Amino acid sequence: MKRPERRGRDSKIALRVAPISEEINPIKPGLIGGNYKPLSDSDIKKLYNLALDALSEIGIGLAPKSGINYMTKAGAVLGDDGRLRFSKSLVEDMIALSSKDLTLFGREEKFDMHLSGKRVFFGTAGAAVHVVDVEKKEYRDSTVQDLYHAAQITQELDNIHFFQRVMVARDITNNYEMDLNTLYACCGGTTKHIGTSFSEPHHVKGCMDLLHMIAGGEKQWRARPFVSNSNCFVVPPMKFATESCETMEKCIEGGMPILLLSAGQAGATAPAPIALAIVQAVAECLAGIVYVNSVKPGHPCIFGTWPFVSDLRTGAMSGGSGEQALLTAGCAQMHHFLGLPGGAASGIADSKLPDMQAGWEQGISNTLAGLAGLNLCYESVGMHASLLGFSLESLILGNDILGQVQRCIKGIDVNDDIVNIDVIRSVCIDGPEHYLGHQQTLDLMQKEYIYPDLADRTSPKEWQENNKPDIMKKTIERKKEILTRRNNIPLFDKEIERGIREKFKIYV
Amino acid sequence: MKRPERRGRDSKIALRVAPISEEINPIKPGLIGGNYKPLSDSDIKKLYNLALDALSEIGIGLAPKSGINYMTKAGAVLGDDGRLRFSKSLVEDMIALSSKDLTLFGREEKFDMHLSGKRVFFGTAGAAVHVVDVEKKEYRDSTVQDLYHAAQITQELDNIHFFQRVMVARDITNNYEMDLNTLYACCGGTTKHIGTSFSEPHHVKGCMDLLHMIAGGEKQWRARPFVSNSNCFVVPPMKFATESCETMEKCIEGGMPILLLSAGQAGATAPAPIALAIVQAVAECLAGIVYVNSVKPGHPCIFGTWPFVSDLRTGAMSGGSGEQALLTAGCAQMHHFLGLPGGAASGIADSKLPDMQAGWEQGISNTLAGLAGLNLCYESVGMHASLLGFSLESLILGNDILGQVQRCIKGIDVNDDIVNIDVIRSVCIDGPEHYLGHQQTLDLMQKEYIYPDLADRTSPKEWQENNKPDIMKKTIERKKEILTRRNNIPLFDKEIERGIREKFKIYV
């Protein structure tokens, strides 16, 4: 292929320097996916019916007393074996009651996420116990400061739409203080929607107090709850996580949206067949739907079928596998079928470092999740070593990956204004026989194309002239620059900040 | 999420050590894609009709005299402006005549590729002028020896199904000798299907002589032509490449399958809108179909709509972009609509090195191509700097990427034998409450899951114990090991080898 000459390069660079207006930028939060369908309609129905069978025949064990009360009142049946069983009609009544077209609020309205249909949002999540030091190639214990930094960086990255807690603040040994400081670090770093979890049910009260302060009052909090509770309410296979369920009840009371998270691991705590791991996760989350709606009908919740994958050679987790990507995409289709806002894991790397392996692992599973139209793609950036390590550099580069994935979700525009042969005719018959300077090309430069931030597209010659820039070095510099800048941007009002620090021991 | 204990690890590792039988391996050449559809049925028809309009109204210029003869005899109309125009009925008659359900032969039968419907095969292609020295981080001129090495490595990589010439043998200054040695290096390195191009029409004769010798005679060659001609028969927009067309005619005569390659660049030599770049490529390739079938009806050819992407900031190519992935996936749908075996570019990295950027670039576009059901995914491994550099290490790692992509294409198995709730019931009610040692898990270990070769899935602890293996170092070792082994494996019969070296000047 002959490469066309470069013409009018200066004028194009000038155009590029102008910031892309939000209006014409082809990628926006909440693009509509769904052009990829790994499961057929009949597959989906089959899996749904199997999940219903599992709920009515096998049921879910270990519900707390309070939960048994709520759910048996609603119609669940407690067996002699201590398992709650749910009839098809009960489940379907509760699906009908359940929250749909949910909005997850940001602390700033511009970050609100309207979850409906096949709209796709990308964000973080996880409970990594390490942060990756890419310079030393080391894994060290993660701290609350690391978590704060991750939140600060996320605030600046347009292609990341929410921030669920990514790392455990291991420097805080008291679990209550850890929960509080986790919340503080997340909310202090970003005004995007936050997700977090609580170690114990009785921690919820104090954490709610903190959130009321941040919101400016309980009423304000309840009007726009900007934090959701990532709740592992089941221990797969098919058992309620008793304490987490109690936490969930308290969060419902406090007006906090619930992410009903079923985190089985195919081949270990979930069945090995991908389809059957989906069935179990759907069954478990449907039990969660019954639970939440028997406590409070319509309380906002997210259908978090979140099955992971085992590397069956070792039993270890493999979040970066093709099987993981399929599991997640298949789950998205189940959410659409049920008409419930849903989330799952995508973008996990098994690689320990942000290297080529991490690139394809994060790229492929985010692509499948996005094209399948998963509402909330959790763990989509920064996650390494199958969730054990979080990398700030990878978080930053992940923004480029997600930009590209979102470009793919946006798809191919075939509207008549731009898709007609007039431009081909004029270029070929009358014109310069190329499209470089054509008005349509200039018009579409920012509408049809997106440009990565850190990814390098120079020619080998330019690359050499630029002293062969190393993407990781560039990213480390970007990280430092963002953190320096953001440390001067307070996210809480001074008064609120003082109040919080008086009332709570803040480690950040 | 709690990680399950590791049990029976030794027995599983033992299982793993046993080679995967070809029969149960879930990924095989020619998996059926098509679950991803970026274009709707009406979009596809619209684009097809626009392509027909372009052919009848704008036409294609610069056909060689011989081509004008063939095509006007078939019904094309030569305008006063020198452009050949094609009516809808002519185009559709020629589509009807054109080869379908094509087999591209390997020199070994086990490598034959049966192209039909949405079957997907991955391979190499390109004309890189550099090889990437990943150890020195340098781009140096590519040689015939590099090309030979790439072919040798490809022979060992199961997820790469064909080998089209990837680099220009820049150490051979005589173009005829270069063409001959390119063929020799490719065929000498691998018995998979080969693709190549010829610099001049009059080179075809000698190259055919070489192929007849390799095949054991002209008859044997014609029975199973194992090399196809990658032919840039058009110079987009909408002009025939006069000399390449003459080469094509000679290849048709010699019984060589033709890859009709239209390599426009959206925003430069093709329109900037993705959909319209597809229209132009389809129009150009349809002209190619008319051409080939007016020379010899039914001659094997591949519909090579192969549009690239410009980074419109600079006019430079960006093969690693989301726009490129969409272009390629959209083209695959056009091939399915036409019922013609097709190919396009996927897997190109813009990154100069096999780093994280390269990983996501190669991962995402190969995923879209594969899920869309593209028959022949060219340039799917090893390509860097938007086709200017080829990396042997990236070729090897690309095998892992393509394994993962093919696992995604394979999709989710929902057959009743494995997808029923009996296993959930037995594990939850009677069983150990996990699936780790379950017979189903062991049965599916190799059937439902694939395992990467070089990608690392160890925990941070194991990784540290293993001295933090660097994926690039591991890959360089693998490369040396493969090349050392393969240098002892002659791919030609001694007699044939001697005959070739007597008749031609061989540089390998």
Name the minimum distance, in Å, from the CA of A358 to any CA of chain B.
Answer: 6
Q: Closest by alpha carbon to B76, among B64, B62, B60? A: B60
Instruction: Tally DSSP H helices, then E strands, for chain B.
Output: 18, 20
Name the minimum distance, in Å, from the CA of A126 to any CA of chain B.
Answer: 9
Question: Are the Cβ atoms of A326 and B407 closer than 8 angstroms?
Answer: yes
d(CA B417, CA B506): 56
d(CA A97, CA A305): 19
Banded pLDDT at B17 (limits 50, 70, 90):
very low
Q: Strand B31-32 and strand B119-122: pairing?
A: antiparallel
Banded pLDDT at A9 (limits 50, 70, 90):
very low
Contact B241, B233 (CB under 8 A): yes
Domain final residue, candidates A60, A78, A94: A94
Question: Are the Cβ atoms of A273 and B448 closer than 8 angstroms?
Answer: yes
Q: Which residues on chain B are in Cβ contact (under 8 Å) with A260?
A: none
Task: Say whether both A114 and A135 belong to one domain.
Answer: yes
Name the minimum distance, in Å, from the CA of B318 to any CA of chain A.
Answer: 7
Question: Are the Cβ atoms of B279 and A35 closer than 8 angstroms?
Answer: no
Q: Which of A412, A435, A460 sits opposite B38 (nearest CB)?
A: A412
Q: Closest by alpha carbon to B341, among B60, B98, B17? A: B98
pLDDT of residue B310: 87
Mean pLDDT of all residues in B152-164: 98
Q: Which of B127, B139, B419 sits opposite A276 (nearest CB)?
A: B419
Strands (DSSP E) contained in A86-155 are: 103-104, 113-114, 119-122, 130-133, 138-141
d(CA B85, CA A276): 56
Task: Say whether both A277 and A148 belong to one domain.
Answer: yes
Q: Which residues on chain A are in Cβ contact (under 8 Å) with B81?
A: 429
Mean pLDDT of all residues in B182-200: 98
Q: What is the pLDDT of residues A15-60, one digit of tens each?
A: 444 556 667 788 999 999 999 999 999 999 999 999 999 999 999 9
Task: Say whether both A279 and A387 belong to one domain.
Answer: yes
DSSP code of B460?
H
Question: Are the Cβ atoms of B4 and A268 closer than 8 angstroms?
Answer: yes
Question: Are the Cβ atoms of B424 and A276 closer than 8 angstroms?
Answer: yes
Question: Are the Cβ atoms of A273 and B35 closer than 8 angstroms?
Answer: no
Task: Say whether both A192 and A55 belong to one domain.
Answer: no
ipTM of the complex: 0.96
Banded pLDDT at B18 (limits 50, 70, 90):
low
The sign of the torsion formed by the CA atoms of A390, A305, A26, B401 equals positive
Question: Are the Cβ atoms of A2 and B235 closer than 8 angstroms?
Answer: yes
Q: Does residue A177 fall inside a structural domain?
A: yes
User: Percent of chain B at pLDDT above 70?
Assistant: 96
Q: Which of A47, A421, A444 sits opposite B54 (nearest CB)?
A: A421
Name the minimum distance, in Å, from the CA of A313 to any CA of chain B.
Answer: 5
Mean pLDDT of all residues in B47-59: 98
Domain final residue, candidates A393, A410, A427: A410
Strands (DSSP E) contained in A346-485 are: 376-378, 383-384, 389-390
Domain final residue, candidates A77, A94, A111: A94
Q: Which residues on chain B are in Cβ contact (under 8 Å) with A139?
A: 460, 464
Question: Are the Cβ atoms of A13 and B313 closer than 8 angstroms?
Answer: yes
pLDDT at residue B392 above 90? yes
Q: Which residues on chain B are in Cβ contact (under 8 Å) with A312?
A: 12, 441, 444-445, 449
Question: Are the Cβ atoms of B6 and A434 closer than 8 angstroms?
Answer: no
Q: Which residues on chain A are in Cβ contact (under 8 Å) with B449?
A: 267, 272, 309, 311-312, 321, 323
Task: Say whether both A149 and A298 belong to one domain.
Answer: yes
Name the minimum distance, in Å, from the CA of B285 to any CA of chain A.
Answer: 15
Compare all CA atoms of chain B with the CA of A366 and give the residue at the minimum distance: B364
Question: Are the Cβ atoms of A435 and B272 closer than 8 angstroms?
Answer: yes
Q: Does residue B224 fall inside a structural domain?
A: yes
Q: What is the pLDDT of residues B220-250, one digit of tens each?
A: 999 999 999 999 999 999 999 999 999 999 9
Mean pLDDT of all residues in B445-468: 95
d(CA B442, CA B451): 15
Q: Does residue A154 fall inside a structural domain?
A: yes
Angle at B334 between CA B330 and CA B336, to 5 degrees: 115
Q: Does residue A420 fall inside a structural domain?
A: no
d(CA B222, CA B180): 19
Q: Closest by alpha carbon to B460, among A324, A169, A140, A313? A: A140
pLDDT of residue B300: 98
Contact A388, B462 (CB under 8 A): no
Name the minimum distance, in Å, from the CA of A217 to any CA of chain B.
Answer: 33
Q: Which of A9, A325, A468 sits opposite B315 (nearest CB)?
A: A9
Name the minimum distance, in Å, from the CA of A67 to any CA of chain B.
Answer: 20
Q: Does residue A393 fall inside a structural domain?
A: yes
pLDDT of residue B313: 86
Mean pLDDT of all residues in B289-301: 98
Q: Which residues on chain B are in Cβ contact (under 8 Å) with A325?
A: 404, 408
Tell which of A421, A440, A447, A451 to mutate to test the B interface (max B CBs under 10 Å).
A421
Count interface pairs A-B at CB distance under 8 A: 457
Task: Say whether both A233 and A284 belong to one domain.
Answer: yes
Q: Does residue A366 fall inside a structural domain?
A: yes
Mean pLDDT of all residues in A290-318: 95
Domain count, chain B: 1
Q: What are phi and psi of A6, to 5 degrees?
A: -90, 120
Q: Closest by alpha carbon to B395, among B124, B30, B169, B120? A: B124
Task: Say whether both A60 and A172 belong to one domain.
Answer: no
A302 in helix, strand or coil? strand
For A54, the domain range is 45-94
Question: Are the Cβ atoms of B312 and A357 closer than 8 angstroms?
Answer: no
Which of A128-156 are b and which e, b meaning 16 or more Cβ less than 10 Å from the residue's Cβ?
Answer: bbbbbebeeeebeebbbebbbbbbbbbbb
A303 in helix, strand or coil? strand
Mean pLDDT of all residues in A184-204: 98
Q: Tokens 């070769």 belong to which residue?
A: B453
User: Percent of chain A at pLDDT above 70?
Assistant: 96
Task: Say whether both A80 and A148 belong to one domain.
Answer: no
Q: Which residues on chain B are in Cβ contact (under 8 Å) with A6?
A: 314-316
Strand partners, B438: none
Task: Say whether both A67 and A135 belong to one domain.
Answer: no
Task: Say whether both A115 and A241 belong to one domain.
Answer: yes
Compare all CA atoms of chain B with the CA of A37 and give the residue at the minimum distance: B35
C-alpha torsion angle, residues A357, A358, A361, A364 (rounded to 10): -110
pLDDT of residue B19: 53
Strands (DSSP E) contained in A219-305 are: 227-231, 258-262, 265-266, 301-305
Query: How far, in Å, are A293, A327, A354 from residue B470 at the CA level?
Result: 50, 29, 11
Mean pLDDT of all residues in A186-197: 98
Task: Say whether both A238 and A258 belong to one domain.
Answer: yes
Question: Are the Cβ atoms of B427 and A315 closer than 8 angstroms?
Answer: no
Q: What is the pLDDT of residues A113-128, one digit of tens each?
A: 999 999 999 999 999 9
pLDDT of residue B53: 98
Sequence-distant (≥ 6) Cβ neighbours of residue A187 within 8 angstroms: A107, A151, A194, A211, A214, A226, A227, A491, A492
The sign of the torsion formed by the CA atoms of B141, B145, B150, B151 equals positive
Question: Are the Cβ atoms of B273 and A448 closer than 8 angstroms?
Answer: yes
Mean pLDDT of all residues in B318-335: 97
pLDDT of residue A312: 86
Q: What are phi and psi of B270, to 5 degrees?
A: -135, 160
Question: Are the Cβ atoms of A314 and B12 closer than 8 angstroms?
Answer: yes
Q: Which of B43, B364, B444 sits opposite A408 (nearest CB)?
A: B364
Q: Does residue B326 fall inside a structural domain?
A: yes
Domain holding B389: CATH number? 3.20.20.480
Compare all CA atoms of chain B with the CA of A435 and give the residue at the minimum distance: B268
Q: Does residue B468 fall inside a structural domain?
A: no
Q: Which residues on chain B are in Cβ contact (under 8 Å) with A419?
A: 46-47, 50, 273, 275-276, 279
Question: Are the Cβ atoms of B358 and A356 closer than 8 angstroms?
Answer: yes
Q: What is the pLDDT of residues A314-337, one digit of tens each?
A: 888 999 999 999 999 999 999 999
Tell which of A360, A429, A439, A451 to mutate to test the B interface (max B CBs under 10 Å).
A360
d(CA B134, CA B478): 14
Q: Closest by alpha carbon to B460, among A164, A363, A313, A133? A: A133
pLDDT at residue B292 above 60? yes
Q: Tokens 């599983």 belong to which residue?
A: B12
Q: Which residues on chain A are in Cβ contact (under 8 Å) with B428?
A: 58, 61, 237-239
Question: Are the Cβ atoms of A265 and B1 closer than 8 angstroms?
Answer: yes
Q: Which residues on chain A are in Cβ contact (under 8 Å) with B397?
A: 356-357
For chain A, helix, strand, coil in percent to 5 are 45, 15, 40
Compare all CA atoms of chain B with the CA of A449 and give the residue at the minimum distance: B323
